[in-house]
């Protein structure tokens, strides 16, 4: 029963049963029951009961038992006392593979990846669990390169190996690599599960790979994989990011269970594609069904107001975050409001809102104000915004271009030239080269300005040159015929 409650994620009942057992004479405790209750103490983070059980271990003579020692390692690591867990591990006479894997997993869980690597390297033997634990550890800390190196070096791979690596690429926005690896996974005849599907759908959404996303959806339906809240939300998000709002809504409406992330994904998707009224309607439905919105939800709500210029409603939702919902404003919410006010020509209000921020505004906020100044030709505010923006991002070419456009709209040619001189004098170039991607025959091709890594780069550049030549000829003919460019 102790194990049953532990497997059912109810460690409190496991501990309760153990201490009830201690009240009855004649019930002999063994290392198995002790290791189970130690695990229960660790998973419930009950430090006091954990130390009580540790005392029983000493009294009953199980302190050198390998199963019990391994459970103690896990328990103390779960308490956050990794030094005690390490001491227990070091006191083991001959730790076995399970003991090593438990210590390795706890290092990885708390982000001590260097300690995990050192332990991994000195392990006398390793199994698939060992490799997967360290791959997942590196992936969780964002070190995708190290995770991939381990993945490539492992002699054996299972579903966990593939899913961990695909998830790492997706979370670090290396979506093309995630999709490439998923294709290799299919060639290796490894059947994906829900976890894999969520990561692949995320990559499809980031890349705009709609056809691939549809194939994944068809696979889910064909194999009758249950669409739970997480998988359903991933489908809603993927379709929305790929611009297919119809399918996004269809998946959303078919879901029997939804959470705040599901609603937020749908609201943001609708807002980003110009369906502002429908987005706000979904927000109202979400509230009426008893869901509590979070900060992500309000990014979608404020974006919806921004898209259709609903200034008063934007203010209402912005103020309700702290006044009614108890949600602290983040920089994203200020950015939405500054953009909304700036586009509406309320530049003074936008500037005052920036000055009232409880933390330093980031480049997105200043860029939103600068964008509003360009629309309404307000040079004074634009210069203030640009000064702050260029302090934060002195090497980003787009900021100079935006300021130059403000001067251009105001017909201030001298300052236009001054901005261009600043760019030349500061050797300002594109920090991140322009990129685009296209989906052809269920494969995603990514193109980066100046890059020649694509296998058909020579043919691509040759075609671009031909297009440029034709455009020049057409322009010259137009000049010749009409006398104007």
The per-residue pLDDT for 1 is: 57
3-state secondary structure of 439: strand
Mean pLDDT of 163-176: 93
pLDDT band at 189 (very low <50, low <70, confident <90, very high): very high
Task: State the DSSP string of 158-211.
Answer: -HHHHHHHHHHHHHTT-HHHHHHHHHHHHHTTPPP-HHHHHHHHHHHHHHT-HH
Mean pLDDT along residues 417-433: 65
Say what the pTM is: 0.78
Give the model's confidence band at 483: pLDDT under 50 very low, under 70 low, under 90 confident, else very high: very low
CATH number of 329-435: 1.25.40
Residues 6+ apart with CB under 8 A from 311: 305, 340, 341, 344, 346
Mean pLDDT for the stretch of residues 297-323: 95
Q: Which two tokens stand for residue 370?
A: 């600068």
Summarize pLDDT for 466-480 with one digit per residue, the tens: 776 666 555 445 444
pLDDT at 484: 40
Q: 209-259 pLDDT, tens per residue?
A: 999 999 999 999 998 888 999 999 999 999 999 999 999 999 999 999 999
- CATH number of 158-257, picked from 1.10.150, 1.25.40, 1.10.510, 1.10.30: 1.25.40
What's the pLDDT score for residue 198?
A: 96
What pLDDT does 476 receive? 47
pLDDT band at 485; cut points 50, 70, 90 = very low
Provide the pLDDT for residue 338: 96
Give tens-digit pLDDT for 109-139.
Answer: 888 999 999 999 999 999 999 999 999 999 9
State the span(s) of the chain assigned CATH 1.25.40: 158-257, 329-435
Rounded mean pLDDT, 127-153: 94
Position 199 scores a pLDDT of 95
Q: How far is 96 from 100, CA to CA, in rounded Å?
A: 6
């Amino acid at each position: 029963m102790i194990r049953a409650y532990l497997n059912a994620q109810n460690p409190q009942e496991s501990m309760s049963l153990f201490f009830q057992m201690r009240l009855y004479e004649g019930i002999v405790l063994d290392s198995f029951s002790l290791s189970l209750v130690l695990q229960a103490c660790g998973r419930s983070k009950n430090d006091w009961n954990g130390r009580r059980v540790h005392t029983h271990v000493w009294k009953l003579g199980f302190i050198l038992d390998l199963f019990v020692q391994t459970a103690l390692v896990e328990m103390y690591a779960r308490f956050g006392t990794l030094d005690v867990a390490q001491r227990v591990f070091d006191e083991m006479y001959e730790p076995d593979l399970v003991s090593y894997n438990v210590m390795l997993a706890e290092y990885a869980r708390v982000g001590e990846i260097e300690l995990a690597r050192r332990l991994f390297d000195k392990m006398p033997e390793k199994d698939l669990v060992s490799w997967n634990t360290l791959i997942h550890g590196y992936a969780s800390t964002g070190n995708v390169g190290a995770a991939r190196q381990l993945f490539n070096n492992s002699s054996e791979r299972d579903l966990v190996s593939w899913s961990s690596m695909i998830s790492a690429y997706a979370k670090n926005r290396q979506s093309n690599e995630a999709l490439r690896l998923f294709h290799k996974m299919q060639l290796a005849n490894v059947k994906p599960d829900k976890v894999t599907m969520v990561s692949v759908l995320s990559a499809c959404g980031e890349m705009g790979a709609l056809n691939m996303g549809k194939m994944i959806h068809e696979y889910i339906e064909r194999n009758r994989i249950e669409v739970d809240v997480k998988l359903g939300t991933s489908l809603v998000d993927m379709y929305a990011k790929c611009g297919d709002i119809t399918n996004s809504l269809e998946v959303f409406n078919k879901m029997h269970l939804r959470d705040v992330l599901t609603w937020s994904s749908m609201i943001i998707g609708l807002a980003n594609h110009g369906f502002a009224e429908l987005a706000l309607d979904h927000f109202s439905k979400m509230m009426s069904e008893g869901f509590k919105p979070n900060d992500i939800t309000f990014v979608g709500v404020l974006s919806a107001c921004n898209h259709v210029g609903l200034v008063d409603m934007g203010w209402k939702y912005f103020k309700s975050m702290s006044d009614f919902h108890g949600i602290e404003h983040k920089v994203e919410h200020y950015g939405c409001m500054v953009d909304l006010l700036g586009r509406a020509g309320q530049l003074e209000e936008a500037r005052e809102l920036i000055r009232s921020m409880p933390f330093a505004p980031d480049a997105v906020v200043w860029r939103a104000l600068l964008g509003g100044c360009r629309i309404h030709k307000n040079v004074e505010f634009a210069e203030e915004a640009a000064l702050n923006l260029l302090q934060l991002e002195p090497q980003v070419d787009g900021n100079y271009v935006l300021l130059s456009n403000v001067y251009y709209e105001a017909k201030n040619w001298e300052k236009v030239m001054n901005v261009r001189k600043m760019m030349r004098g500061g050797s300002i170039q594109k920090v991140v080269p322009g990129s685009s991607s296209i989906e052809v025959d269920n494969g995603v091709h990514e193109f980066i300005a100046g890059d020649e890594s694509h296998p058909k780069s020579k043919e691509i550049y040759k075609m671009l040159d031909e297009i440029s030549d034709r455009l020049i000829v057409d322009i010259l003919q137009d000049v010749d015929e009409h006398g104007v460019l």
